[in-house]
Amino acid sequence: MSRRSQNKSHTRAVWLALLAVPVLFVMCAALQVRIDAETRSMNQGNEELLLRSGRLLKNLSLGYEPLLADIYWTRVVQYYGTRARKPGATYESLWPLLDITTALDPKLMIAYRFGAVFLSERPPVGPGRADLAVDLVKRGIAENPDEWRLYQDLGFLYSIHLKDYQKASEAYLEGSKNPNAQVWMKVMAARVAETGNQLETSRLIWIAVYSSTKDDLIRRRATQHIHSLDAALGLKKLNESSEDYWRKFGRFPSSMQELRDAGLVGGALEDPEGYPYVMGPNGVPQLNPKSPIVLDPDQGPDKLR
């Protein structure tokens, strides 16, 4: 083939490739979208982990266990992040993933701290396994006895999720003995022991969780809980006003306006998300049905009276 015809053939091939390759890429991407939809339905509920033993993986990692731990931690965050608030989501692999991560790198504090929050969250935003979260944090304390923050996490789990205020107080107190611990750990130990079951105490604990991290995911979770507690506190106050109304007029108010007209409440009667509270049956105030706030089961309207 002559040089000239070869150049011509090359130019033709390059032009063809320049025109066809992007078109083919777009077609492949469009096809990929359809394949994703098909494989998603195939993989629903498939949460298998090939290796569940952290010790075995550690032996197989050939000295790269810290890197492997980082990869597994990334998987934990993705796993939890893609499921949280997805209706009907299950979290079967969350504990094995955290177990493997911390077995590979026992000093990976973030895995203990955030892992405990992920594990303890109630459905649908988590598996509601506070017991496993406690095991995880205790393992973290055994491996990292100088980390006072882990005692804070243990106290948080006992008080907020397991309602064991005695053990929560002990955890805060134990953590406060660390010379690096914040002063408020001692205050928290005393407060939880005295008034652990009060909404105000729970709110303080969540504020401590919020301010102890810069991670967006945890902060969002903490903010949701703080808003939920604020809403519960707001409803509690409104309920007290509703009972005052009953004592004054011999019946419960049928609307918020009646409470306002009676001079028993004032200001904006809204939840932290800006949705006005509504009056339910028998004068029990409730969250607006449009409000995105979800009250914990032990803070609902049925718990007001």
Partner 1 sequence: MSVLPGVVAINTFREAVRDRVLYNLIFFALMMIGAAILVGQISIGIERMVIVNLGLSAISAIGIIMAIFIGVGLVYKEMEKRTLYSLLSKPIRRWEFLVGKFGGLLLTLVVNTSLMTLGLGLALYCVGGKFERTDATILVAVYFILLELALVTALALFFSCFTSPMLSTLYTLGIYVAGVFAPGIQGVSQFTQNWALRAVTRFIYYLLPNFHDFGVIAAAAHGDRVPLALIWHNTLYAALYVALILLAASAVFSGRNLK
Taking the least distance from each CB to partner 1, the nearer of 39 and 59 is 39
Shortest CB 172 distance to partner 1, Å:
32
Shortest CB 140 distance to partner 1, Å:
24
Shortest CB 73 distance to partner 1, Å:
13
Taking the least distance from each CB to partner 1, the nearer of 27 and 187 is 27
Shortest CB 74 distance to partner 1, Å:
8
Taking the least distance from each CB to partner 1, the nearer of 42 and 268 is 42
- Longest pairwise C-alpha distance within the chain: 107
Cβ burial of 214 (10 Å; 0-12, 13-18, 19+) is exposed
What burial letters (b/e) apply to 288-305, b meaning 16+ CB within 10 Å? beebebbbeeebebeebe
Shortest CB 6 distance to partner 1, Å:
8
Shortest CB 285 distance to partner 1, Å:
35
**In contact, 115 and 213? CB cutoff 8 Å:** no
Taking the least distance from each CB to partner 1, the nearer of 139 and 219 is 219
What residues line the site for partner 1 (CB under 8 A)? Answer: 1, 6, 9-10, 13-14, 16-18, 20-21, 24-25, 27-29, 31-32, 34-36, 38-39, 41-42, 46, 48, 75, 77-78, 81-82, 216
Shortest CB 32 distance to partner 1, Å:
6
**In contact, 230 and 271? CB cutoff 8 Å:** yes
Taking the least distance from each CB to partner 1, the nearer of 37 and 183 is 37
Taking the least distance from each CB to partner 1, the nearer of 44 and 180 is 44
Minimal CA–CA distance to 80: which of 96, 56, 68? Answer: 96
* 75 strand-pairing partners: none
Taking the least distance from each CB to partner 1, the nearer of 45 and 63 is 45
Shortest CB 87 distance to partner 1, Å:
16
Taking the least distance from each CB to partner 1, the nearer of 48 and 146 is 48
d(C-alpha 69, C-alpha 81), whole Å: 18
